[in-house]
Amino acid sequence: MTRSSAPRGTRDIVDLDVRAFRRLEERAGERFAAYGYEEIRTPSFENADLFSRAVGDTTDIVEKEMYLFEDRGGRPLALRPEGTAGVVRAYLEHGWDQTCPTKKLWYGGPMFRAERPQAGRYREFWQIGGECFGNPSPQADAETLLLVRDILATAGLTNGVRFLVNSIGCSVCRPVYRDVLKNYLEARKSDLCENCVRRIDRNPLRALDCKGDGPRLDDAPLMADHLCEACRLHRDEAYSLLQSVSFPFEEAPRLVRGLDYYTRTVFEVTAPSQGSQDSIGAGGRYDGLVKLLGGPETPAVGFALGIDRVARALQAQGFTPPAVPKIFVAQAGIGTTPVAFTLAQKLRTFVEGGRMPPVEMGASTKSLKAQFRAADSWGADWLVLVGEEELKKGNVVLKDLRRHAQEEIPLAQVADRLFNRVSVEPKL
């Protein structure tokens, strides 16, 4: 019988990747809390029109990449392709726009897009993101970038990380720029791909984000030259705040975002050694999205980090998340099983208190040799042997499997000896 395999564009997350994912999620949770964010967990699927309204019906996500289906009632649903729209929907559904209009929320989980799979790009991918509602100040833009930096740094990713920042204007000045860009693209229509030609009238900014045409449009007019006074002041203050704390950002005047809801400040985070998929995160301000989805006029700014890509970037830098040492309790001889069982449970109470690593117990029906093999297969670092002869003296054998050393110690001292010797993962 043919064995089943994971669907194309998906994967099982195991071993080092699991440790890298967990490390990033834990560190991110700590940093979000330090910045005043609360965690939210939104559904993995939403009403399909939420994304067409929020993300934009001319984006690749809505046009080509969403997983669409109907439930038994014929209602159109979509697996979430990104996290912001669902958080905004929750912000309004829970009435937070009325009860606490200034609110910070963070989320994590899988997103789904029907893209062509390649290194660093999956059809099910994992993100961590944050959304800050109610603060129109450039301070919120700068703070968001600092939060992203802090999350990456505490996870261990610092080398070569770049923060590219731009302003793409607002509803006042962007239409002016849009017309200028549209005229520019019309003059080069014959050289553009089919998608860019189709979007000239509907959303010409998307041409700058096109993987094929974008790099060739290096003489295209810049949004920076068409910003209104309010957007210029907003941009300059955000940049000034970042400079005041020596934040190493780079102005990227041609940077746009692939989602239609962004306004003013936008940014992208890249890391080296990632090939064509060097972007590990992005975000920006979206002051019109809450109103677009039925709420009041509400300023907002947010971001998302790709957990898969951050994990790849960490691995490319040779960073391995520290493994928690493991303890294996083996048994051999008459009357040893109850003692070994009790000892394993005692050691596990330290685990529950956050003081000791994982504990596994060898099967009483297996030979000692088979239990040793099981310990090795499990990746144990320490082995406690409860043997019949040693137990008569009130002792057990403690084996350091990494250093191939062992000693006989009193049974009553096992927990204290291990607690003193086993090092757990240090906090960064």
Q: Per the structure, how many domains does the chain have?
A: 2
CA angle 224, 133, 126 (to 5 degrees): 85
**Residues of the domain holding 148:** 15-173+227-316
CA distance 289 to 252: 24
**Digits of tens for pLDDT over the chain (428 positions)?**
788 898 898 888 888 888 888 889 999 999 999 999 999 999 999 999 999 888 876 667 777 789 999 999 999 999 999 999 999 999 999 999 999 889 999 999 999 998 887 777 889 999 999 999 999 999 999 999 999 999 999 988 888 899 999 999 998 998 898 899 888 888 888 888 887 888 787 778 878 877 777 778 888 888 999 999 999 999 999 999 999 999 999 999 888 876 667 899 999 999 987 666 688 999 999 999 999 999 999 999 999 999 989 988 888 888 777 677 889 999 999 989 999 999 998 888 865 445 567 899 999 899 999 999 999 999 899 999 999 999 999 999 999 998 899 999 999 888 888 877 664 444 33
Looking at 271, 297, 316, the residue that finishes a domain is: 316
Residue 232's domain is classified under what CATH number?
3.30.930.10
DSSP of 356-392: S--EEE--TTS-HHHHHHHHHHHT-SEEEEEEHHHHH
Residue 217's φ and ψ, nearest 5 degrees, are -95, 50
Closest CA to 343 of 386, 299, 314: 386
Classify residue 215: in a domain, yes or no.
Answer: no
pLDDT for the residue 276: 64
Classify residue 209: in a domain, yes or no.
Answer: no
Q: Are residues 243 and 383 in the same domain?
A: no
Burial of 308 (0-12, 13-18, 19+ CB in 10 A): buried
Rounded to whole angstroms, the maximal C-alpha distance in the chain is 92
Q: Are residues 236 and 377 in the same domain?
A: no
Classify residue 148: in a domain, yes or no.
Answer: yes
pLDDT for the residue 258: 61
Classify residue 382: in a domain, yes or no.
Answer: yes
Whole-model pTM: value is 0.84
Q: Are residues 259 and 380 in the same domain?
A: no
Q: Are residues 22 and 152 in the same domain?
A: yes
Classify residue 162: in a domain, yes or no.
Answer: yes
Q: Are residues 267 and 409 in the same domain?
A: no
Looking at 316, 338, 353, the residue that finishes a domain is: 316
Closest CA to 301 of 74, 78, 143: 143
Classify residue 184: in a domain, yes or no.
Answer: no
Q: Are residues 358 and 395 in the same domain?
A: yes
DSSP of 10-66: -----HHHHHHHHHHHHHHHHHHHHTT-EE----SEEEHHHHHHHT-TTSHIIIII-
pLDDT for the residue 274: 65
Classify residue 220: in a domain, yes or no.
Answer: no
Q: Are residues 245 and 106 in the same domain?
A: yes
Assess contact for 322 and 330: CB atoms under 8 A.
Answer: no
Assess contact for 283 and 249: CB atoms under 8 A.
Answer: no
